[in-house]
Homo-oligomer: A and B are copies of this chain.
Amino acid sequence: MRVIKTISRLRPLIRAVAEKGMQSGLVPTMGALHEGHMSLITQCVRDTEFAMVSIFLNPLQFGPNEDLDAYPATLEQDLDACRRAGVHLVFAPTAAEMYPTQPSTAVANQKLAHDLCGRTRPGHFGGVLLVVGKLFHLLMPRVAYFGEKDFQQARLIQRMVTDLNLDVRLRVLPVVREPDGLALSSRNSYLNAAERALAPGLFKALNLGRRMIVQDKETNVSRVLAAMRGCIEETPGMVIDYLEIRGPDLAPIEHINGPVRLLGAVYVGNTRLIDNLEALP
Contacts and interface: CB of A to CB of B under 8 A. Distances in A.
A162 B134 CA distance: 10
Contacts of A21: 15, 19
Main secondary structure of the interface of A (DSSP, over half): mixed
A233 interface: no
Given A15-B21, A21-B15, A137-B167, A105 B108 contact: yes
B19 A164 contact: no
A109 interface: yes
A128 to B, nearest CB: 12
A248 interface: no
Contacts of A133: 164
A7 interface: yes
A9 interface: no
Taken together, the copies of this chain in the complex come to 2
Contacts of A104: 109-112, 159, 163
B164 A107 contact: yes
Interface in A132-172: 133-134, 137-138, 140, 159-160, 162-167
A107 B105 contact: yes
A130 interface: yes
Given A7-B165, A137-B165, A109 B109 contact: no
Given A107-B105, A107-B106, A134 B18 contact: no
A103 interface: yes
A129 interface: yes
A249 to B, nearest CB: 11
A217 interface: no
A11 interface: yes
Nearest to A138: B165
Contacts of A167: 11, 15, 137-138, 140
B19 A134 contact: no
A134 B165 contact: yes
24 contacts: A7-B165, A11-B167, A15-B167, A18-B19, A19-B19, A104-B109, A104-B111, A104-B112, A104-B159, A104-B163, A105-B109, A105-B164, A106-B108, A106-B109, A107-B164, A108-B108, A130-B163, A133-B164, A134-B165, A137-B164, A137-B165, A137-B166, A138-B167, A140-B167
The 5 closest A-B pairs by CB, nearest first: A105-B163, A103-B163, A19-B21, A104-B111, A137-B165
Given A104-B163, A105-B159, A138-B165, 11 more contacts: A7-B165, A18-B19, A103-B163, A104-B109, A105-B108, A106-B106, A106-B109, A107-B107, A108-B108, A130-B163, A137-B166
